[in-house]
Structure 1
Amino acid sequence: MTQDSRQSVYERITATIAAAIEAGAGDFRMPWHTDGTMSAHPVNITTGKPYRGINTIALWAAAQGAGYGSAIWGTYRQWAACGAQVRRGEKAALVVFWKIDEREEDAGDMDDGQSDPRRRVLARGYPVFNAAQVEGYTPPPLPALPASARIAHAERFFAALGVTVREGGTRACYIPARDEIRLPPFAAFRDPIAYYATLAHEATHWTGHPDRCARELKGRFGSESYAAEELVAELGAAYLCADLGLACEPRPDHAAYVASWLTVLRNDARAIFTAAAQAQRAADWMHARQPFAA
């Protein structure tokens, strides 16, 4: 893949995500806002594994733009291998994998601004189609997980992190000087899922501490580092909510960031790749602290 085609991959995916952000700016509905159902996380038809990092965001954006209700995706050949046929004229979405030392890895694991420069890394774009674009495929029934089970799972997940959470006041935030999260009282949230979704956002900020993921964005984003960190926290919370089966809904208090996120993306075609990779790294770090982690 040439440098020009590699840049085209960055630009095409960034343009798709930026368009989805702009389209939802009126009511602050971003491509990563999902309903918390089991179908919220994009998965591959062949492997059954969820997409990661930038590919998750790219497919959320593509599904939002086209109105797809399914989270199942695959290449033309993968659908054919399942006995299904992509309908003529359907437009593919783009996902990215990295070719590293003859291995290919999901884009969620790369382009975080900290990759080993000694390794030869090539970005490869692949067209994929949603289950809504094919004929001859019947999706399997999804297990119905009651809200009470999802909330209990979320409680165990955040408790296992050992993060200090203090309730009080009216504002949710992470305070680096105290290394603690402040949240309004539980009863102040419209429902328990909203509480845990907000906690997921602040917990992603918390992982940036030098003793955890040591996330430092000033060198990468300069004056736009604050907006970039908020984008990382938004994406990290979206990944966690999808993993935990929680709804990730619009937060009006974050509406002010939309314009700054669009500025970051339009100034740098690789910015969303870095933010998505950092968010995936934060989510992975938190998953690795779970007692049931493999």
Structure 2
Amino acid sequence: MSKNFKALPIQLSDKLIAEIKEGNSLFQKPVKENGMPAFVKPINPTTGKGYSAMNALALGMQRRDDPRWMSADAARYAGNWVKEGEKGTLIEFPKTSDIQAIRTAEGKTIKDDKGVTQTKTVEFEKPQQGKAFLFNAEQMKDVMPLQEFLAKQEEGQTLSPVERAEKLIEDSKAVIIHGGQEAYYDKKRDAIFLPEKETFENETKYYLAAIHQLAHWSGHESRLNRPMEGKFGSQDYAREEMRAAIAGILIGGELKIGHNFGQKDAYMSSFSRILKDEPFEIAKASRDAQKIANLLLGIDLKREQKQSTDIGFKKGDEIAYLDTTYKVLETHKNKSIKVEDADGTRKVLKPEYGLYKSLLEAKANPREPEMELDEGRGQSEEQNYQMER
């Protein structure tokens, strides 16, 4: 692998900074010149599954109208073929196993009577970072026409995008107070304030404003419990806005209502500064945005119920969280635990600690691979290591 290879968060941050400077980032330009949404939720057409937030951003920033993404191998298995000369887009995912060639003691591969290399599945002790290059359906031959695919996707969906947005807001049970000229969330009162619906340019913009404020609402201590103490204009305030903006992109893509970060001009310089100084912040912001989207879309309801009833720690637990894995070495009667991370650092965590709560949530909601484990195989290391500009 090239020594100049940059991790996906760094590539993503670099590209976002450049796009913000040019004024055409997803935060600034929610609609393309052809009238299509700037972000289309990417999915694997074979499995029907989507991709987690940071990968979804990486794919969505390619500005494709077609939502279908998969590796060259997966496309070939599905009877499709990547067009000659096309470049893939890098994604990263937690990898728990690998398919490897069976070799002799001398290191030679073992083949069957037909000359096919024999393989075995190797399970990793700890999740490792996997990488793969994906291609959009627009880059492939012999794919189902887009309109036919989208029609199949919408089968059984009786609500329009606006109706789905209205239902999401109603299902949240958030306190929403109408009146005034500004849209904002008051954490102390745990209430959202919105101008009257008729004062918005159209109904869609009203719902997008409401969804953005619901993203902030999700950070209350009774819900996702994010730090939200920064004052307007501060970097901490901008970090929270970045999370809400990314969540709005994800939710808008899911509902097919689009997105609109109405306060874009006030935060672009702060976003650029954060991404330049701390490029891995985009990974953290994306993870938080995924949690926001999951909460508001109702994806995690059953898992949260399970967590509240029977999830706890036990000795030997290994929990993947952020960019490392924590192993539980000891548990105590007061529910505190002693853990060790992948670097060998040990610490005692009490139930009131933020990391304790995060690990409990990570255990209840383990990260799942976003693609088939063999989807990264067969990809040339020379295929677009740097994200397309």
Name the CA distance, whole Å, in 2 between partners of 1:233 and 1:26: 15
Task: Give SS of 1:43's match.
Answer: coil
**Most deviating of 8-17 and 237-246:** 8-17
Aligned equivalents of 2:81, 2:272: Cα separation in 1: 36
Q: Is this contact kept in 2: 1:9–1:125, CA < 8 A?
A: no
Partner of 1:48: 48
Provide the residue aligned with 1:92 in structure 2: 88
Gap change, CA 1:122 and 1:217, over 3 Å in 2:
farther
Moved more, 119-128 or 157-166: 119-128
The reply on whether 1:129 has 2:129 as its aligned counterpart is no
Q: Which amino acid aligns with 1:134?
A: M
CA-CA distance at 1:151 after TM superposition:
2.0
Q: Could you say which residue in structure 1 is the equivalent of 2:22?
A: 23
Q: Give the corresponding residue for 1:236.
A: 247
2 CA distance for matches of 1:280 and 1:158?
17
What CA distance in whole angstroms lies between the structure 2 residues aligned with 1:289 and 1:99? 23
Deviation at 1:178, TM superposition (A): 0.9
Aligned length: 267
Q: Which moved more, 1:131-140 or 1:275-284?
A: 131-140
Checking the alignment, whether the CA contact within 8 Å between 1:239 and 1:283 is kept in structure 2 is: yes
Distance of aligned partners of 1:132 and 1:257 in 2 relative to their CA distance in 1, 3 Å threshold: same
Shift of 1:89: 1.6
Which has the bigger relative contact order, CA under 8 A and spacing at least 6? Answer: 1
Aligned residue for 1:44, secondary structure, equals coil
Please list, as runs of the form range in 1=range in 2, the aligned pairs for 1:201-280 lying within 5 A after superposition.
Answer: 201-216=212-227, 224-249=235-260, 251=262, 253-280=263-290
* CA distance in structure 2 between the aligned counterparts of 1:92 and 1:192, rounded to whole angstroms: 38
Aligned 8 A contact 2:28 2:264 in 1: no
- The amino acid that maps onto 1:135 is K
Point out the more displaced range, 178-187 or 137-146.
Answer: 137-146
Displacement after TM superposition at 1:5 (Å) = 8.4
1:128 CA displacement:
0.6
Offset of 1:210 from its aligned partner?
A: 0.7
**Structure number with larger C-alpha Rg:** 2
Match of 1:70 in 2: 66
1:132-179 CA distance string (max 9 Å, x none)? 111121233423699972222222221111100011111110011111
List alignment gaps of at least 5 residues for structure 1: 104-118
Once the two structures are TM-superposed, the CA of residue 8 in structure 1 deviates from its matched residue by 2.6
Where do 1:148-187 residues align within 5 Å? 149-187=160-198
SS of 2:173's equivalent? coil
Contact 1:43/1:71 (CA < 8 Å) preserved in 2?
A: yes
* Aligned-partner Cα distance in 1 for 2:68–2:181: 39
Match of 1:288 in 2: 298
Residues 185 and 213 of structure 2 are in contact (CA less than 8 Å); yes or no, is this contact kept in structure 1? yes
Residues 173 and 198 of structure 1: is their aligned pair in 2 closer, same or farther, counting only changes over 3 Å? same
Q: Is the 8 A contact 1:43 1:73 kept in 2?
A: yes
Tell me by how many angstroms 1:25 deviates. 4.5
Q: 1:82 aligns with which of 78, 82, 97?
A: 78
Give TM-score, length-normalised by structure 1: 0.79
What are the superposed Cα offsets for residues 182-204 of structure 1, whole Å, 9 maximum, x if unpaired? 11110011111111111111001
Structure 1 residue 209: Cα displacement: 0.6
Q: How far apart, CA to CA, are the structure 2 residues paired with 1:290 and 1:33?
A: 29
SS at match of 1:40: coil
Q: 1:244 to 1:27 in 2, by over 3 A?
A: closer
Instruction: Rate the CA distance shift 1:129–1:264 in 2: closer, same or farther, 3 A.
Output: same
Cα distance in structure 1, aligned partners of 2:200 and 2:172: 22
Whichever structure has more helix as a proportion of its residues is 1
Matched position secondary structure for 1:235: helix
Distance in 2 (CA, whole Å) between partners of 1:211 and 1:123 is 32
TM-score, normalising length: structure 2: 0.61
Q: Which runs of no fewer than 5 residues in structure 2 stay unpaired?
A: 99-124, 306-389
